[in-house]
Copies of this chain bind each other. A is one copy, B any other.
């Protein structure tokens, strides 16, 4: 029920604002006796960390995670694991003006409509800075999954950006080898996309993107009818990421054009095991994992903070024009890749524990 919590048996809660002293969170329900230290978490934060290339905000944050509880002698104890990340590069600028204006595409107007108050410093609670904490929690969720199922892998990449689109198959091993987090090992393609984004960046504009996240080797049987469906929870998880405007499972929007004959994922036995001959369903049938790769895709809108002047109003009802200065990602879709992976890990780990609770160990 909590507004700032997510998940059920494995439950993640987060707190903090963009320019507060820290952002933080706690993960409750983690199984005991799992090896865990900050070094299990930091590599994932390092991927999402800003200012690593010219394509992300130049805000300098080391994003060092600090574990506060739930660990004893390097192992989880089954009690809540809390962690914080310091905010170091929050500029002490004057927010008097920005506090009055509603930036188009941002949550300024809606927060004020809801609460009658908002923290304007760097977007406050609505800033994508919060997603760093999700990445930290997702790293723990991965440990929960892989401790029991070492084969499970969670991969992702940015496969579309503005007018650019990668064609399949994607090479997810290459994702973190290039600054746009493209699942593509071809340097020329990567270079072309970077040139494209450079032009947008220099124009003071921004661009949208599409991200795909996959979970490989997930056992069949996770998820549950009717309102605890694995795809419904994934949809909620991905849609909760800042700037996301769509979530697709498997063929997603394309199923609207398909015939039943083409959409059916036929089955055969291979090596004594059931296999699907295609994966239009994206690994989920009736809300339950099928054993095929789980495929989720989401669209990220272009960063709302741009240098092009836009028409808006202020909180006194004056019509004004606004230019959003400050440090921003020209394409927030890039850093949404590790965040999407983290959300996939959190949803799967929760459903693993819920499944084990109701149905027992496989």
Contacts and interface: CB of A to CB of B under 8 A. Distances in A.
A15 interface: yes
A206 B262 CA distance: 10
B82 A118 contact: no
Contact of A225 (B84, B121, B125): B125
Nearest to A258: B208
Most B CB within 10 A of own CB, among A4, A104, A252, A353: A4
Interface string A37-60: 000000000000000000000000
Contacts of A189: none
Provide the main secondary structure of the chain A interface.
mixed
A240 B230 CA distance: 9
A35 to B, nearest CB: 12
Contacts of A326: none
Given A240-B227, A357-B356, A117 B288 contact: no
B249 A245 contact: yes
Contact of A227 (B4, B26, B104, B285): B4
A230 to B, nearest CB: 9
A92 interface: no
Copies per assembly: 4
Contacts of A175: none
Contacts of A12: 227
Contacts of A180: none
A115 B359 contact: yes
A118 B8 CA distance: 23
Contacts of A274: 102, 109, 313, 317
A72 to B, nearest CB: 4
Contacts of A263: 105, 208, 301-302, 304
B260 A15 contact: no
A5 B82 CA distance: 13
Interface in A1-29: 1-6, 8-9, 11-17, 20-24, 26, 28-29
B267 A109 contact: yes
Interface string A92-114: 00000000001011110111011
A111 to B, nearest CB: 6
B3 A5 contact: no
Contacts of A135: none
Contacts of A81: 15
Given A8-B8, A68-B84, 14 more contacts: A2-B13, A3-B227, A5-B5, A104-B265, A105-B263, A114-B221, A162-B259, A232-B240, A245-B252, A245-B253, A248-B253, A260-B304, A267-B313, A274-B317
